[in-house]
Chains A and B, each alone.
Chain A
């Protein structure tokens, strides 16, 4: 069974600081996604990573994928308060039907 683990699950950081969220998964997959969810809102797609070594950047967020290590990182550069949200990674599983399994989410709070 595919397991997707994120850490940390909760992160409180100061504005201007850098930090990395980690996403490990247990089964071979070459597709990984990052989503953002604001409290009480829907999930917004941030990044789609489709191959080993993929790196994508949008503003202060950068995501990377290492399929051999089964690891993705979401790096936050010079955090601002507006980045406060819950970040989910998700991995595709293509056995037993096609499914996307989500991690538990990392709740990020950026203090002004």
Chain B
């Protein structure tokens, strides 16, 4: 157990639907990062939050949004889902920028 908790582990949903992925960072970590891993795109950085504030944005689609709550857990919302959104979504946390991450076990999203 890395200390970063992601739920659910698996999610199957239909095109056009909306889902929410949840992440609880490791105790003491203020930063949360979201990554998407797909076979054709590799590991893509989506977005980072630090202590509730958005700090950096990557290749995150407009249909996707995220937030970090006062208790530091984070949610990634994916809407108007398409088949191509099927992927592993990882959350990672860190104590300080520049010292690497601890990754959660991921949420495998399948859009049918």
- Report A's interface with B, CB cutoff 8 A: 31, 33, 35, 41-45, 48, 50, 88, 92, 96-105
Chosen A-B contacts, 9 in total, with CB atoms closer than 8 Å, are A35-B103, A42-B106, A45-B100, A45-B102, A48-B99, A48-B100, A88-B43, A92-B97, A92-B98
In the complex, the chain A residue whose C-beta lies closest to that of B6 is A42
In whole Å, how far is B17's beta carbon from the nearest beta carbon of chain A?
Answer: 24
User: In the complex the two chains form, is B42's CB within 8 Å of A98's CB?
Assistant: no
Query: Could you tell me which residues of chain B, from 10 to 48, have a CB within 8 Å of some CB in chain A?
Result: 33, 35, 42-43, 45, 48
Contact with A along B71-110 (1 / 0, CB 8 A): 0000000000000000000101000011111111110000
In whole Å, how far is B51's beta carbon from the nearest beta carbon of chain A?
Answer: 13
In whole Å, how far is B84's beta carbon from the nearest beta carbon of chain A?
Answer: 18
| Chain A residues near B43 (CB-CB < 8 A) | 43, 88, 102, 105
User: In the complex the two chains form, is A97's CB within 8 Å of B48's CB?
Assistant: yes
User: In the complex the two chains form, is B100's CB within 8 Å of A43's CB?
Assistant: no
